[in-house]
Every structure is written in C-alpha cells, then in structure tokens.
C-alpha cells in the first residue's frame, strides 16, 4: 500500500491507533503477540514512519546545527565528514551554515537556526567570546569547537594549538635547524594566534629567533611567503606553516625553484590532512585526527541534548607525525642561495595546488 499510515495498520490488525503507535515506538506496555501482529502488518503494508510526525511528538526536530568558518581545503571536509558520520549513526541530520570569514555572518547563523535545531556545534574562531555568548540561543544545548575561551558553563572542545606548535618547532630544532620562519594564519583567529605563540615560546626557550610571515590558511599565501624568501635570498633552513595547505604551497614553490626539501629547507604544517601523506616529500604535521574530532563534537552535543553532559572543556593534544619533509639538514649545503634556479610562478589566484 503506498503511503500506509498507522490508521491503515490499526484497521488491518483490528487494534486501536494508540496501540499501533505504542508498539511501533517501542513502548513496553504492549503484549508481545500484539506487537508481533502489528509489526507483521506494518511490514506487509510497507509502512514507513513519518519522521516529522515522530519528531513532533517528541518535541525534537532530529536536526543539529553546525556553524563553521569556511569550507576551503581538506580540514573542513574531514571535520564535516566526522560530524555527519556520527550524526547519521545516531539517526540525526545536520543543518550547516558557513561564515566565510565574516564574524557577523556567524552571529546571523545562530539566530537563523533558533527553533529549527535541537542543538548547535559552533566553530567560530574569529568571533569574540562576548559576542558568541551574547548570541547563542538561551537554553539551547551547544558545543563550542575551538572558539575563543570564556564561555562559562558551555561544553567546549579545544585543540591545544600552543603545545602542538611548540612540539613541531622543537622537532625542527632537533634536526639541526636554527634559522626558522613561521607562516602564520589570519590575525585574530584563535587557532592562528595560539600556534604563533607556541612557536615563539619554543624558539625563545632554545634561544633562537623566529621570523613571522603573514598568511591566511590558504595555499597561495604559503606559496607567496616562500617566493618572498627566495627573492630575498633569505638565510632560512626551516619553515613551520600554521596549517598544511600553506606548508604545501611553500613546498611546491621551493621545489619549482630547485631547492631540495628537506636537504636545504625543512617544512612542516599543522592539522595532518590526508594530502600530507600523498605528496612527495610527505609532509610532517601535527595530527588531531580531524574526523574523530568532529565526531566527538557531535557525540558531546547528543549528550548535552539529553541533559547528560556537565559542560567543561575537553582538550585534544596534537601528535607530531614525522615524515620526509623534515629530515636532517644536509651538511655543507648552508652556503647555497635560495635564488638558485628560481623562476617566479605566475599568480593564478585560483587557490589550486601547483
């Protein structure tokens, strides 16, 4: 029967609509033989539960809201893959809003989701703590992912960016590097700021200088930073980029110039996106298991919706994944200039990998 309803099942099984509803929703106050009859009739009629009606009866939408700053690059595809997988396994759906780097768009997204979702996963590293707290729907369960600190009583998942950045710099120093450059993320982004601070503190402990070059978490900015170093014939033997895409952009630019990585310059990134293991040389990075991190955010939100989460901060410490791009410096090569064999690449502005 097309579009069979609980009334059709009740009529066929000669029971009340209420009994059918209790049986199909797993209530215990239905005799086993009656439940078996109702399930048999439902299967024969091809009954499919009406999701909207079910959620209406439970005062839940079955929808969770996800607010992210961007969709560019593999980091966000992995993060959302983990979130969607966890939500799907729990019978939930995700409604996503993208900020595109605009803090006010993030605030608008929070208002747009009010009344449409059962809870929120919010990743808004460029929104101040005061603004975010002021616009989070009152009483709505929420999990804040790598947002600015200062959200009393809200569940938070955080990456220990400072520890991860410091561990990467310490690894570079251990391979013999002494002239380090950091390609930073956008100013005001909590992840970028914490990674910069961690790198600076590690260099300070080692008594080494750190040159900082501005980036924006996208591949062309990493390529541009490497191009500038080459044009300056800069004295550098290691680059730590604040994310993998900038590191890859820098590496491709150096390779086109005939500068061998890691013999002449070591390079590392942050996030450990899948591409780090596929390029040549493979890229050393700080891993947080991005998909698992996204899944954890949804799992914590489900607990919060059920009233079974006590809030607080869960912090994930990155693990340095050492690969080919940070091998030891090749002795006797320090007198080479960066300008050798370099031809400045054309600026396509597409954001594609070279």
pLDDT in tens, 267-317: 999 999 999 999 999 999 999 999 999 999 999 999 888 887 777 788 899
pLDDT of 337 higher than 70: no
pLDDT of 103 higher than 80: no
Identify the pLDDT of residue 273.
93
Residue 201 vs residue 146, higher pLDDT: 201
Average pLDDT, the chain: 84
| Res. 82 pLDDT band, cuts 50 70 90 | very high
Cis ω for the linkage preceding 281 (within 30 of 0): yes
Burial (CB count <10 Å: 0-12, 13-18, 19+), residue 263: middle
pLDDT of 55 higher than 90: no
Q: CB–CB of 34/20 below 8 Å? A: no
pLDDT of 29 higher than 90: no
| Res. 100 pLDDT band, cuts 50 70 90 | confident
Identify the pLDDT of residue 78.
92
State the CB neighbour count (10 A cutoff) for residue 320: 18
Identify the pLDDT of residue 3.
65
> Among 70-84, 147-161, 203-217, which stretch is predicted with the lowest mean pLDDT?
147-161
Q: How far, in Å, CA of 253 to CA of 193, rounded?
A: 25
Mean pLDDT of 330-335: 43
Identify the pLDDT of residue 155.
85
Identify the pLDDT of residue 336.
40
Identify the pLDDT of residue 59.
54
| Res. 221 pLDDT band, cuts 50 70 90 | very high
pLDDT of 139 higher than 70: yes
φ/ψ of residue 303, rounded to 5: -65, -40
| Cα angle for residues 124, 250, 186 (degrees, 5° grid) | 25
Q: Is the whole model's pTM more than 0.85, yes or no?
A: no
> Among 151-155, 179-183, 288-292, which stretch is predicted with the lowest mean pLDDT?
151-155
């Amino acid at each position: 029967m097309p579009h069979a309803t609980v009334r059709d099942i009740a009529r066929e099984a000669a029971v009340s609509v209420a009994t059918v509803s209790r049986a199909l929703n797993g209530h215990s106050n239905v005799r086993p033989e009656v439940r078996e009859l109702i399930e048999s009739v439902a299967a024969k009629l091809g009954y499919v539960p009406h999701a909207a009606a079910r959620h209406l009866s439970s005062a839940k939408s079955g929808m969770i809201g996800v607010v992210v700053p961007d969709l560019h690059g593999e980091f966000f595809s992995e993060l959302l893959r983990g979130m969607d997988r966890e939500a799907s396994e729990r019978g939930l759906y995700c409604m996503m809003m993208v900020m595109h780097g605009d803090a006010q768009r993030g605030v608008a997204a929070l208002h747009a989701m009010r009344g449409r979702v059962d809870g929120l996963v919010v990743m808004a590293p460029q929104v101040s703590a005061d603004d975010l707290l002021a616009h989070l729907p009152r009483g709505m369960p929420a999990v804040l992912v790598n947002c600015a600190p200062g959200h009393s009583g809200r569940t938070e998942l955080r990456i220990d960016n400072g520890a991860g950045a410091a561990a990467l710099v310490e690894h570079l120093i251990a391979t013999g590097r002494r002239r380090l450059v950091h390609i930073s993320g956008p100013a005001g982004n909590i992840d970028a700021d914490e990674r910069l601070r961690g790198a600076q503190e590690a260099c300070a402990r080692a008594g080494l200088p750190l040159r900082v070059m501005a980036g924006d978490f996208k591949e062309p900015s990493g390529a541009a930073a490497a191009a500038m170093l080459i044009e300056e014939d800069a004295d550098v033997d290691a680059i730590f980029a604040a994310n993998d895409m900038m590191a890859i952009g820098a590496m491709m630019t150096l390779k086109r110039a005939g500068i061998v990585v890691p013999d002449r310059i070591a390079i590392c990134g942050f996030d450990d996106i899948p591409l780090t293991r596929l390029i040549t040389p493979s890229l050393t990075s700080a891993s947080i298991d991005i998909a698992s991190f996204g899944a954890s955010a949804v799992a914590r939100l489900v607990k919060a919706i059920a009233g079974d989460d006590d809030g607080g901060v869960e912090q994930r410490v990155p693990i340095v994944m050492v690969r080919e791009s940070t091998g030891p410096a090749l002795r006797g090569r320090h007198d080479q200039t960066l300008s050798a064999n370099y031809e400045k690449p054309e600026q396509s502005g597409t954001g594609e990998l070279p």
